[in-house]
């Protein structure tokens, strides 16, 4: 009150500061942001992880990044195909199904390989040894567009000329690998099809939940869910910057933190033929359905 001049000076500098901040924001917003889609192929429920991933990608690419999550794989796939996403971490099944229209950006390496398995899980106390023992079950699938959470089991049944609807008593889609574990652990479902990678990570993060289930059968090794982009944008500079950001994740401290949280070794550029076994399963399924 006793120094009005000083107060006025403060107000002016405050306004100047505000203008600077607003200007920065406007400048960032003016550059088209990188829209990166995520599916529940990994633990999307971890918001801290999502924040870290976003800030790493922004730092590494120099482009503002927006992470987009949807409930189902199909929504993300549609957004990606329609060009509303620049890239997305999708499952091998949608990639294979839409191969000519989608291109690989990078594939995660887990336990040294860009490969993972699908698990059939059941209640800990059930005496079941194979898929055949699960006949009539209430079976939890992850997502109708998931390789490990649907396609592997459906293809295995297709080889026996069966469909999940006929083989199982009831099928439930939980739209998340973690939800498959919850459904089986709670008793809502008697068995489930789940991503082996998610299952193994949960073994560390949620051992109590995992302890109430057991693995009935593991599939052969299959291509790990990849990061894909529309084929038309495969050679876009923004895509290249994203690819190098992903591949170089292991060289950066915050990137390593993200990888450590994801229990991944890193990302690498792989040949689309990595996903041929999945394509073969799709073919079996189509033949049976046909």
Task: Compare residues 34 and 183 and give the one whose CB is closer to another protein.
Answer: 183
What one-character DSSP code corresponds to residue 30?
Answer: H
Contact pick of 49, 50, 162, 188 for another protein (by CB under 8 A): 188
Minimum distance from CB of 171 to another protein (Å)? 10
Minimum distance from CB of 167 to another protein (Å)? 17
Minimum distance from CB of 120 to another protein (Å)? 18
Minimum distance from CB of 170 to another protein (Å)? 7
Q: Which tokens sit at 231?
A: 């084929």
- Which residues neighbour 168 within 8 Å (Cβ) at sequence distance 6 or greater? 134, 135, 136, 137, 138, 139
Q: Within a 10 A sphere around the Cβ of 289, how many other Cβ atoms?
A: 9
- Which residues neighbour 192 within 8 Å (Cβ) at sequence distance 6 or greater? 120, 121, 122, 139, 140, 141, 142, 174, 180, 181, 183, 184, 213
Minimum distance from CB of 184 to another protein (Å)? 10
Residue numbers 148-187 binding another protein by CB under 8 A: 170, 172-175, 179, 182-183, 186-187
Q: ∠ CA(159), CA(161), CA(164), 5° rounding?
A: 90
- Which residues neighbour 10 within 8 Å (Cβ) at sequence distance 6 or greater? none
Task: Compare residues 3 and 166 and give the one whose CB is closer to another protein.
Answer: 166
Task: Compare residues 49 and 188 and give the one whose CB is closer to another protein.
Answer: 188
Task: Compare residues 50 and 188 and give the one whose CB is closer to another protein.
Answer: 188
Task: Compare residues 120 and 246 and give the one whose CB is closer to another protein.
Answer: 120
Helix/strand/coil percent split, the chain, to 5: 50, 20, 25
**Phi and psi at residue 221, in whole multiples of 5°?**
-70, 135
Provide the β-strand partners of residue 65: 34
89, 41 contact by CB (below 8 A): yes
Q: Find, among 189, 184, 187, the residue nearest to 198 by Cα.
A: 184
Minimum distance from CB of 188 to another protein (Å)? 4
Minimum distance from CB of 20 to another protein (Å)? 42
Pattern 94-113, another protein, x by CB under 8 A:
--------------------
Task: Compare residues 23 and 169 and give the one whose CB is closer to another protein.
Answer: 169
Residue numbers 231-290 binding another protein by CB under 8 A: none
Give the total of residues touching another protein (CB under 8 A).
13
Task: Compare residues 61 and 174 and give the one whose CB is closer to another protein.
Answer: 174
Given CA atoms 275, 279, 280, 285 in this order, what sign does their dihedral have? positive
Pattern 111-150, another protein, x by CB under 8 A:
---------------------------x-x----------
Q: Describe the crossing of helices 47-61 and 253-262 by its angle, rounded to 10 degrees.
A: 140
Minimum distance from CB of 182 to another protein (Å)? 7
By the criterion CB under 8 A, which residues form the site for another protein? 138, 140, 170, 172-175, 179, 182-183, 186-188
């Amino acid at each position: 009150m006793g120094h009005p001049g000083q107060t006025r000076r403060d107000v002016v500098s405050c306004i100047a500061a505000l203008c600077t901040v607003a200007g920065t924001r406007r400048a960032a917003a003016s550059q088209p942001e990188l829209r990166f889609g995520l599916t529940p192929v990994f633990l999307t429920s971890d918001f801290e992880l999502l924040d870290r991933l976003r800030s790493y990608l922004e730092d590494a690419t120099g482009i503002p990044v927006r992470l987009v999550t949807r409930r189902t794989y199909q929504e993300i796939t549609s957004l990606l195909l329609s060009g509303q996403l620049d890239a997305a971490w999708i499952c091998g099944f949608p990639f294979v199904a839409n191969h000519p229209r989608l291109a690989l950006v990078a594939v995660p390496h887990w336990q040294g390989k860009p490969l993972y398995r699908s698990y059939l899980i059941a209640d800990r106390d059930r005496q079941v040894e194979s898929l055949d023992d699960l006949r009539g079950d209430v079976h939890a699938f992850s997502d109708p567009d998931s390789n490990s959470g649907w396609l592997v089991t459906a293809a295995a049944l297709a080889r026996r000329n069966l469909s999940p609807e006929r083989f199982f008593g009831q099928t439930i889609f939980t739209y998340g690998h973690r939800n498959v574990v919850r459904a089986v652990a709670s008793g809502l479902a008697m068995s489930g099809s789940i991503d082996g990678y998610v299952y193994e990570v949960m073994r560390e993060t949620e051992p109590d939940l995992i302890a109430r289930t057991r693995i009935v059968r593991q599939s052969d090794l299959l291509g790990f869910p990849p990061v894909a982009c529309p084929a038309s944008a495969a050679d876009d500079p923004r895509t290249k910057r994203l690819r190098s950001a992903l591949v170089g994740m292991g060289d950066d401290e915050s990137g390593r933190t993200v990888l450590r949280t994801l229990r991944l070794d890193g990302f690498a550029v792989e040949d689309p033929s990595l996903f041929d076994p999945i394509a073969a399963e799709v073919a079996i399924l189509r033949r049976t359905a046909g």
